[in-house]
Structure 1
Amino acid sequence: MPFQKVQTEKLSLAVVRQIELLILRGILRPGERLPSERELAERMGVSRPSLRDAISNLQEQGLLTPKAGSGIYVAEVLGSAFSPALIRLFSSHDEAVFDYLSFRRDMEGLAAERAARLGSDSDLKVVQTIFDRMQSAHDRNAPEDEAQLDAEFHMAIIEASHNVVMLHMMRSMYDLLRQGVFYNRQMMFQQRATRDALLDQHRAINAALQSRDPDAARVAVELHLDFVERCMQDQQKAVRNEEIAQQRLKHETGEA
């Protein structure tokens, strides 16, 4: 018969599973510091030896990492999604920019649709809170803050879609975007007219989500990323035109 005696699970394994789920669901994020051993043991209702056993297990898995004199942190696992060689290719070829935007359009459109259907009330409150901060940054003319909140807004939608594979894949993509691998996203928030348009687009996305309208949420995201793509095309044309103009100027002035 395929039955075995039921055994009480080791507390350390229960701790491992709980922390694994927090990382899998994106609640604990790469680079985030865990509470102190004493505080964490108290919160989880386990002994410190059981907690140490669990932490050791998670470190062996590569999910947690110690920093001398600082504590235990969630490991930076996102970089493993792409090899350094592929990242260099992304950063050196323009076509990667538009493939990236196309990929985002498809994935984030789906995420917005799912978030409108499946996101909890708390999920949508997070999205609303970030949008309100974006509006505030816009009003006080803080483009760097607005650019940061833009990334947080999009990630909050992906989190609200409740698909852990999409969550970690898109976090990895956003990590590369923050590094400037695909394009300088700060550039888009330097011109007032562009910033106004972007805010209106995010307002439309947020409104569709808060209304729980999946179709409208998807369309709003797609229109937003279509706009971003046009901005990138215009920026690339402007750079090429300036290079040509400089060549013409040097020719006219007799510069070498």
Structure 2
Amino acid sequence: MARSKPSIDLAVWSGLRDSFASTYRDEVHVSEALAREIQGLILRQELDAGDRLPSERDLSEVLGVSRPTISKTLKILALQGLVTAKRGSGTFIADEPGMSNSPSVDLILNLNADSVPNLLEMRLMLELRGMNDAILRADDADLERTRQYAEALAATNIDEIANWMSADIRFHHSIAAASKNQYLEMFFLSTHSAIVRFEFRDWLASGRAPSWQLEADQQGVLMDVHWEMHSALVERDPHRGERAIIAHHELLTEHVSDTLLGD
């Protein structure tokens, strides 16, 4: 795991302001644009794993945007698995930040929310194939990484939505990565991340938790399914893996349906 570094010099961020502020005026669009700019910094390795981001107040001042805009940006990045928040320490670039082409998937969902069942179907097909390939190809490092992410997910309170969903994305991504198929990994990460953002879009917009999260023992139910997926991978049992993934898919479909009904 990368060692946490001191907060980055604010000068690194000063170049972002002109690149998006003149084009995007409202808070939601500025947040999305800023999230894309920060993703670009990570891709260009101007931000590294373990780097601590400046505080929301400092970023607000140097970028000339409101603190709610910065907060929304960090939520978006957390749901992409790019940053993690550590209570009392700040927000950090994830140890293994995932990259995807999910903005294009998000665009389709924003234009046609009724297409989300098709995206769920695509996600299921990709994860089933990813699990089968991972069972055949995963090495010891892959199994250890998946175990660590499952433990991190279990240790995260579901009420801490950004951290929970960031840990969830890393867990599912680790299985796709263990398939050793970079294209499957990329497309799975895109579909999964887009569905997660859709599932939690009310929280992204207003801070309101989804209704399913308020149900009793949701964390226990979800963790049982995630541990079953991990066990199937460790035991290299494709039938067990298929059952676990379908069970997870059914839960995810219920959650997304609740989101649609709430619109």
Q: TM-score range by the shorter chain?
A: 0.5 to 0.7
1:186-209 per-residue CA deviation (whole Å, 9 max, x = no partner) reads 635454533221111101111111
Flag the 1:88–1:227 CA change in 2: closer, same or farther, 3 A: same
Flag the 1:128–1:172 CA change in 2: closer, same or farther, 3 A: same
Letter in 2 for 1:184: F
> How far is the alpha carbon of 1:108 from its aligned partner?
0.3
1:30 and 1:170 mapped to 2: Cα distance? 20
Is 1:209 the counterpart of 2:233? The answer is yes
Flag the 1:90–1:203 CA change in 2: closer, same or farther, 3 A: same
Matches within 5 A, 1:1-256: 31=43, 33=45, 78-79=100-101, 83=104, 87-138=106-157, 142-177=160-195, 180=197, 182-184=198-200, 187=210, 189=213, 191-237=215-261, 239=262
1:216 and 1:32 mapped to 2: Cα distance? 40
1:166 and 1:160 mapped to 2: Cα distance? 10
> How far is the alpha carbon of 1:151 from its aligned partner?
0.6
Could you tell me which runs of 5 or more consecutive residues in structure 1 were left unpaired when the two chains were aligned.
1-28, 37-75, 241-256
Flag the 1:161–1:190 CA change in 2: closer, same or farther, 3 A: farther
SS of the residue 2:251 aligns to: helix
1:61-90 per-residue CA deviation (whole Å, 9 max, x = no partner) reads xxxxxxxxxxxxxxx9844x775xx74332
Could you list the runs of 4 or more consecutive aligned residues of structure 1 that deviate by over 6 angstroms after TM superposition? Answer: none
Q: How many residues align?
A: 166
Q: RMSD of the TM alignment (CA)?
A: 3.1
SS of the residue 1:222 aligns to: helix
Letter in 2 for 1:31: L
1:141-160 per-residue CA deviation (whole Å, 9 max, x = no partner) reads 53432221111100000000
Flag the 1:145–1:214 CA change in 2: closer, same or farther, 3 A: same
Greater displacement, 227-236 / 116-125 = 227-236
1:135-193 per-residue CA deviation (whole Å, 9 max, x = no partner) reads 1114x853432221111100000000111111122233345346x3x332763545453
Letter in 2 for 1:159: A
1:212 and 1:135 mapped to 2: Cα distance? 22
- Larger Cα-atom Rg: 1
Question: Does the 8 Å CA contact 1:146/1:189 hold for their aligned counterparts?
Answer: no
SS of the residue 1:137 aligns to: coil
Flag the 1:171–1:232 CA change in 2: closer, same or farther, 3 A: closer
- Percent identity, aligned pairs only, is 18
1:219-241 per-residue CA deviation (whole Å, 9 max, x = no partner) reads 2112101121122224433x26x
1:102 and 1:174 mapped to 2: Cα distance? 11
2:199 and 2:153 mapped to 1: Cα distance? 21
Question: Does the 8 Å CA contact 2:199/2:255 hold for their aligned counterparts?
Answer: no
